[in-house]
Amino acid sequence: MLDQVKDSRRWIILQGLNVIRGAIQIQLTENQTWYGDVVDLQGYSLFGYWVTNHSTSPAGLSQSGIQFAANQNFSSPPLPFIHSSTPSNPGGYAYSLQPLLAVARFARPYIKAGSTTGAYTVSMYWIFSP
Amino acid sequence: MLICSYCGKEIDQGQGFVAEEDENGNIVKAYHPICNALANKLDLTMWDEFGNIILQITQGEIVIDNRPKEEG
């Protein structure tokens, strides 16, 4: 399958665009936070992301979005330049599609579950572009 | 250094992880995303850049596993 894709025009376009992107659908229990792969933003900007809340009960996510930091470990502490857009309602979604200039060296997507006991199902995809 | 509460191996924070934090944001427990799904009987789906499913876990059971072998 991958070989077929690599022979296709789609692969050439993807290589030409040279974007960094990812997608995940994840379930978290209460008070858990998922942090995605750290992206080195040198030469890149956040192009956009989309978060969908698939939960019904409990449904209230605490937060989701993109965090920025000056160091790869996001320690001491992460910069306050969080781009947050959180779908709190069941079946709700939130997104950012405007290009955001990188003001920090590193970024990562994140999703914080709510505090009510249960499983929170959320999907997210994100794109960074040169 | 973070250690996964499920498999006991070190977590590379650059590769993504799931954390349980206290009120001050300090991490008290951490998992690899896959280990979190296995440990807590949760769902997880991961895709590659072409939309193909790399891994699907349903209620803690692996139902699709297309990960390259060298990644375990």
DSSP output for chain A:
-HHHHHTSHHHHHHHHHT-EEEEEEEEEETTEEEE---EE-TT-EEEEEEEEE--SSS----EEEEEEESSTT--S---S--EE----STT-EEEE-S-B---SSEEEEEEE--SSSSEEEEEEEEEEE-
| Stated pTM of the model | 0.83
Interface size A-B, in CB pairs within 8 Å, comes to 71
Residue of B nearest to A109 (CA): B16
pLDDT of residue B55: 94
pLDDT of residue B72: 46
pLDDT of residue A64 exceeding 50, the answer is yes
Which has more confidence, A7 or A57?
A57
B46 touches chain A (CB under 8 A): yes
The CB density around residue A46, as the number of other CB atoms within 10 Å, is 24
- Average pLDDT over chain A, rounded to whole? 80
> Positive or negative, the Cα torsion across A46, B19, B36, A105?
positive
Q: Which residues of A touch B52 (CB under 8 A)?
A: 1-2
